Chains A and B, each alone.
Chain A
Amino acid sequence: MKLTKTLLATSALTVASGMAFADAHMANEMTIVSWGGAYSNSQQKAYNEPYAEKTGVKIINDESSADAVAKLRAMSEAGNVSWDVVDVTAADSFRLCDEGLAMEINFDEMLAKGDDGSSATDDFGGTLINDCFIPQIVFSTTFGYRTDMVGDTPPTSVCSIFDTEAYPGKRALEKRPIGNMEWALLCDGVEKEAIYDLLETPEGQQQALDKLATIKDDVIWWNAGADTPQLLADGEVVIGSTYNGRLFSVIEEQDQPVAMMWDGQMFDIDGWIIPAGLTDERKARALDYIMFATDTQRLADQAKYISYGPARASSAPLVGKHADLGIDMAQHMPTDPANATNVFNFNYEFWADYRDDIDAKFQAWLVQ
């Protein structure tokens, strides 16, 4: 009897609280998914804390971005999406958008104008790559080398990774074709503009793999962004690719004998998506958060904590000094003119199509 009463009381409460939610325009709790580590930390400081202060909303952090695609699909199949905004790479956003797992965004309506008055579409410019992806930062995959292991001639060109005579020792490269194939062709004498056209053909793919084969025995293949900094710090590799923010922290924060090589850096974008199929209140909350977190000032604020460039053009002039180290951050941005003399613009559309096919070949090549 008592149990029935308790049950009744609980369900009455649930109904009541449910109604309270329905009355409020937006949900007062939200789950934000990101990568963890220093990156999440920068978001926490630049976006989440100010937002929570402004709105009183309760923010739950989830560090699942690495598995976001698979988890979102599983949630959507189970009909219970528990995330409100998700930080993903541009390449993942393509899959999520294609699979109908991410909500389509009307950029000019749902995002804030630039503080110079430009429309969101103009302000984000080329970083808007599909209908679902809300860009946040521009990062790059680039190289760091041991200053004490390269002698008097530090490498200045991306092709140094293929020069085992001048720079003997192991190299660290990512264990996936993206990036490596482009660098291989570039260093095999292919014009930068012709690389993706060539990579569409089986011959071009083979040419890239053949070039990589010249250093296959000298490569340690990494899976996680933290691997290369560790390998460099341990002196296991002489040169290696990783995300520029990771190298920044090895060089500036940990003071290791490592230096940056910006040549041939591969521009990439990271940003938000909102999962498809949220209830109206949660969607309203998610959009409100996105509107706040991607405005000009907030994007510039994030650069105080991590060396990734803001995706908005209007944020660039506002980038200041590092919050703890007090160094001027602008020169550590991949987008800084001095660093961006020779860059690759990652071709998302190409990799969305060819990723599976080339990856199969790449992995088969690795196994051989």
Chain B
Amino acid sequence: MSDVNDATTAKTAPTPDDGLKIADGPVLAADGTPLKKSLSRALRVQKLRALALVAPLLIFVLVTFIAPIADMLFRSVENEIVSETLPRTTDLLADWDAESGTPPGAPVFKALFKDIFEAQEAKLHTRLGSRLNYELTGVSSLFRKSGRKVEDMAEVYQDQFEKLDRFWKKGENWNTLMGSDAWNADMAGWDPKSDDKQPKFELRDGIDVFLPATSESFANYAKFTQVEDEDNLAKKDPWALVYSSLYDDLQRAEPVTFAGLKVAGAAELSEAASAVADFETVNFAEAFTKIDKDWQDVEVWRTIQAYSPRYTNGYFLNAIDMQKGADGPEMRPENQQIYLTLFWRTMVMSIVITVSCILLGYPVAWLLANLPARTANLLMILVLLPFWTSLLVRTSAWKVMLQHQGVVNETLVWLGIVATDDRLALINNQTGTIIAMTHILLPFMILPLYSVMATVPQTYLRAAKSLGATNWTAFWRVYFPQSVPGIGAGSILVFILSIGYYITPEIVGGTSGTFISNRIAYHISSSLNWGLGAALGAILLAAVLLLYYAYDKIVGIDNVKLGG
């Protein structure tokens, strides 16, 4: 399409119209608009039509392929769960110095109490626990335990307020105190049985000046009850957390007067304000330590701090056997290093498989290209036959063939080539993976090779020989160079396919013949550590692109041919 554009816009050679143009300015189309404009409009319509034709495929690929992959890969850096679940704690923790060797102070524990309380109401604390457990073993049960007990801490205050005055027991009293008059009126007029939506909670004007912490907690409680649980707020009693916030508000350093507060409950507030001085208090640091002594462990806090940011490189570090240490990234202990080995093994074995495919596939492709059509077709069917069989069946068949008491070993023993107690180990190791995968990927090598060889005229070989070349020279100097594009195409196909293979290595690879994809599959489907799985996948993708780029630079991608 760009050719057409060039021809209309770039005017280099003189045309018969030139004279006209000089005389009358721009050339006009029949309807009087300049020809250039009218032509480009016509072309635009054509372009749009072409785009509309490819649009379904384009949108399909974007929506079903590119977008999910991008979304999955994005998980390798995404880490919002920590700061979203523990907003107050992570804020305060930013100032804590992990090097100090002591756990953070009381304010952080109090923030942690509020965060975990709200998180356990929404059942998010265990999620965060399993997220952080990927980084530090034991955090999972730490959060699970703490979530179960955190309610008890707050109930210390709730019990005291309720004992002081029955007023605090009732959810509706709280609603009148904390909710705006308009909202209370709306609630009174709302019929829970009707289809109308429950009036959205509104905080009383100015109450947050008197009771800032309580207002925040109560608003969170109201929002959660109405939106997440879809419960009737009028029928509910507030969280225990609200009481502990009320205690905080009432025992602030400067005494609060509730004289300005004209609302039912002001008297009870004043009463409570004077009573809180004698309240039994909760030391949150101690209380958490009582749940689990790990809360005094600096490592736990360092992990929370290190994973506070919304984005993390932690998964990628993990994917290359590193971790976030006290001073920057460091290698993992030797007994946990696995991924670099697996990446390296995947690359090396994929290359070995590719080379064996070339060695086995080249002669077959040559035969296919040079035999009479009838025989060649029959051979072609044999090449394609594996495609008609399930991958799992083919791999399992190799199991039967290669195992200790398998067909290959039995035959060799029968022939007397190997002793019966010294059978070959052909499966559950690298050999097994290489044999099975070479077999499975062979057609992907033969087909491109064949389609390129079919276009090489046999007369070239004859010509070379008639000019005095030996068989070998004729092949090596004349025929082989012309088949290289086929080798290139086949190698790329086989290599890229084998690098991501997972079923076959899983079944026949044992421990030494598995690939990185097996670990990715484990993290996606079993450990649910999708971030790490995504990071491993991203690295694999990058490695393939890099190799492709290198191939393009060295061999040139134009030299790759899938056919004539």
Contact = CB atoms under 8 A, between A and B. Distances in A.
Interface of A: 66-67, 69-70, 73, 95, 97-100, 170, 175, 206, 209, 220-221, 223, 234-236, 349, 352-357, 359-361, 363-367
Given A349-B141, A364-B336, A235 B405 contact: yes
B127 interface: yes
A70 B525 contact: yes
Nearest to A360: B336
B425 to A, nearest CB: 10
A352 B141 contact: yes
Interface stretch (B109-117, B132-140, B252-260): B132-140
Most buried by A among B124, B134, B526: B526
Nearest to A67: B525
B527 interface: yes
B519 interface: yes
Closest 6 CB pairs of A and B: A98-B126, A357-B137, A364-B338, A70-B525, A366-B511, A353-B141
A365 B338 CA distance: 8
A99 B405 contact: no
A353 B138 contact: yes
B519 A220 contact: no
A67 B507 CA distance: 17
Nearest to B321: A364
A98 B127 contact: yes
A140 B338 CA distance: 30
Given A69-B525, A100-B126, A367 B133 contact: no
Interface of B: 123-124, 126-127, 129-130, 133-134, 137-138, 140-141, 144, 335-338, 341-342, 403-405, 428, 506-507, 510-512, 519, 524-530
9 contacts: A69-B526, A70-B526, A95-B130, A98-B127, A209-B335, A354-B137, A356-B133, A361-B335, A367-B342
B127 A100 contact: yes
B446 to A, nearest CB: 31
Contacts of A67: 525
A213 to B, nearest CB: 12
Contacts of A220: 428, 510
B444 to A, nearest CB: 26
Nearest to A170: B404
Given A95-B130, A99-B130, A361 B528 contact: no
A360 B404 CA distance: 30
Nearest to A96: B528
A353 B123 CA distance: 18
Most buried by B among A69, A95, A349, A363: A363
B338 A98 contact: no
Nearest to B341: A367
B511 A221 contact: yes
Contact of B528 (A99, A206, A209): A99
Contacts of A361: 335-336
Contacts of A367: 338, 341-342, 511-512
Contacts of B126: 97-100
A353 B341 contact: no
B528 A70 contact: yes
Given A206-B335, A367-B342, A352 B140 contact: yes
Nearest to B512: A367
A257 to B, nearest CB: 14
Most buried by A among B335, B403, B405, B507: B335
Contact of A360 (B123, B140, B338, B428): B338
A359 B532 CA distance: 14
Contacts of A236: 403-405
Contacts of B127: 98-100
Nearest to A357: B137
The binding surface of chain A is classed by DSSP as: helix
A97 B341 CA distance: 34
B195 to A, nearest CB: 12
A98 B144 contact: yes
A356 B527 contact: yes
A147 B528 CA distance: 40
Nearest to B148: A131
Nearest to B399: A230
A234 B405 contact: yes
Contacts of A206: 335
Given A360-B336, A366-B511, A100 B137 contact: no
A209 B519 CA distance: 20
A305 to B, nearest CB: 26
A364 B331 CA distance: 14
Contacts of A365: 335
Given A100-B126, A354-B137, A364 B337 contact: yes
A234 B528 contact: no
A235 B423 CA distance: 14
A69 B524 CA distance: 9
B506 A73 contact: no
A236 B427 CA distance: 11
Given A97-B126, A223-B506, A69 B342 contact: no
Most buried by B among A223, A353, A357: A353
A170 B134 CA distance: 34
A98 B506 contact: no
Given A223-B506, A357-B137, 9 more contacts: A69-B526, A70-B524, A98-B140, A99-B130, A99-B528, A221-B510, A354-B138, A364-B336, A367-B341
Contacts of B506: 223
A154 to B, nearest CB: 21
Contacts of B342: 367
B516 to A, nearest CB: 11
A2 B208 CA distance: 61
Nearest to B125: A98
Contacts of A363: 338, 519
Most buried by A among B144, B342, B528: B528
A356 B512 CA distance: 21
A277 B342 CA distance: 39
Contacts of B137: 353-354, 356-357
A352 B530 CA distance: 17
Nearest to A73: B528
A299 to B, nearest CB: 28
Contacts of A360: 336, 338
A170 B127 CA distance: 41
B133 A69 contact: no
A98 B79 CA distance: 18
Nearest to A216: B511
B534 to A, nearest CB: 13
Nearest to B404: A236
Contacts of B144: 98
A367 B468 CA distance: 55
B511 A353 contact: no
A76 B209 CA distance: 41
Contacts of A352: 140-141
Contacts of B338: 360, 363-364, 367
Contacts of B528: 69-70, 73, 95, 99
B137 to A, nearest CB: 4
Given A234-B403, A353-B138, A367-B341, A100 B123 contact: yes
Contacts of A73: 528, 530
A26 B298 CA distance: 51
B545 to A, nearest CB: 26
Contact of A355 (B511, B527, B530): B527
A105 to B, nearest CB: 14
B72 to A, nearest CB: 10
Nearest to B123: A100
A353 B133 contact: yes
